[in-house]
Amino acid sequence: MNKLATVITRLSMMQIDENALLHDVVKQLRGREAFLDVATDIVPEAIYHGDVFEAILGDLSEMEGSPLYPSEKTISQLEELSKVVSADYIMVINRK
């Protein structure tokens, strides 16, 4: 077996258009970036760990009942995203 093959890891990435996300979901993503893709001309595109939506839901569960707790619509989109994302990383594409 090739020695190089034993140290190579394949990673998967999904892309999500920022316009498809609710504004409050985008706000919850702020500060959770794993990387920024600065190769774009205008605005860097953020790359997150694949479990970012699950992590947000976990953090928000501690705030339930608080006036800062997001709307049911926001929670619903986060739950849906946590179920459909099956990649190691997620890139949020900014098409503004």
Q: Domain ranges for the chain, please list them.
A: 19-93
For 45-91, what is each residue's pLDDT tens digit? 889 999 999 999 999 999 988 988 999 999 999 999 999 999 999 99
For 3-56, what is each residue's pLDDT tens digit? 777 777 788 999 999 999 999 999 999 999 998 876 666 667 889 999 999 999
Strands 89-93 and 13-17, bridge-based pairing: parallel
| 25's tokens | 């979901």
Closest CA to 20 of 90, 71, 68: 90
